[in-house]
């Protein structure tokens, strides 16, 4: 059982620490006048660094949308996915809290990076987030796919460039969320959700959490597209269900645990 595995808990710790560092770095690099290139590079370099450091431990998802895509593709168990997402949200909030405590009060108002352009509608904002996350998660799947023989280049850099690309395009539309934990964390710390939601219609009749809905939909689409169309995995329904239940490991699993510990799932092969 995964809960009895030390490696499982190390993976969770890696996701907490990784998301904490990621949120702290990218939000801290975004203070001051908006510089799209600076922000995009900060996100890309932070992601590349964390994949290099933590990829072999947990996969360095540091993003609930990425974890959800791996769940859709039956590449990790439901239990691990839920624990990962909770760890990422907690790590993100902790990172935003640390940054808030270190930041002079005069500029704390800039902590919430996501800003939806006034002319962008609910449908437009959600669609932008879907496509930004779609390309990012497709890059994650392709670079982590253990079936690729003789691939060239760096996995960490590929993921970093993909995230930077998303921000170069998306900052002026939605602030380029692409990561619910990163978007949610500063909103919680500043207690300011004004830019976290897009209201329906001009009269403001209700609101939709674009920074959750868009990335999750984009990640779901990416997981289905990659695993069933672009690079299908020949798995039956029974095998997929066994992986989701934690009864069977996916391809590219880690070496067995030492005797006395249950075997656990590894979601990537770097």
pLDDT of residue 270: 39
pLDDT of residue 195: 60
pLDDT of residue 60: 95
Residue range 156-205, pLDDT digits in tens: 999 999 999 999 999 989 999 999 999 999 888 888 776 666 665 544 44
Residue range 243-267, pLDDT digits in tens: 888 877 676 544 344 444 444 444 4
Residue 62 vs residue 123, higher pLDDT:
62
Chain-centroid distance of CA 98 in Å reads: 20
Which fold would CATH assign to domain 2-244?
Answer: Glycerol uptake facilitator protein (1.20.1080)
Q: Does 32 score more than 90 pLDDT? A: no
């Amino acid at each position: 059982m995964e809960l009895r595995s030390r490696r499982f808990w190390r993976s969770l710790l890696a996701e907490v620490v990784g998301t904490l560092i990621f949120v702290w770095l990218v939000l801290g690099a975004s203070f001051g006048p908006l510089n799209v290139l600076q922000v995009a590079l900060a996100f890309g370099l932070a992601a590349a660094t964390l994949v290099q450091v933590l990829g072999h431990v947990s996969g360095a998802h540091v993003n609930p949308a990425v974890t959800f895509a791996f769940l859709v593709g039956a590449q990790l168990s439901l239990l691990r996915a839920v624990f990962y997402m909770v760890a990422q949200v907690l790590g993100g909030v902790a990172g935003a809290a640390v940054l808030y405590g270190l930041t002079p009060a005069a500029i704390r108002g800039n902590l919430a990076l996501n800003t939806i352009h006034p002319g962008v509608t609910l449908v437009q904002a959600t669609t932008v987030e879907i496509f930004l996350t779609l390309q990012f998660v497709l890059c994650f799947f392709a670079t982590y796919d253990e079936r690729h023989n003789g691939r060239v280049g760096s996995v960490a850099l590929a993921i970093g460039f993909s995230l930077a690309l998303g921000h170069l395009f998306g900052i002026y539309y939605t602030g380029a969320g692409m990561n619910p934990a990163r978007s949610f964390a500063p909103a919680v710390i500043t207690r300011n959700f004004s830019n976290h939601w897009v209201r329906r219609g001009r009269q403001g009749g209700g609101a939709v959490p674009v920074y959750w809905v868009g990335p999750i939909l984009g990640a779901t689409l990416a997981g289905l597209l990659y695993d069933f169309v672009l690079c299908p995995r020949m798995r039956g329904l029974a095998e997929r269900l066994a992986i989701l239940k934690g009864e069977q490991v996916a391809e590219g699993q880690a070496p067995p645990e030492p005797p006395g510990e249950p075997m656990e799932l590894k979601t990537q092969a770097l």
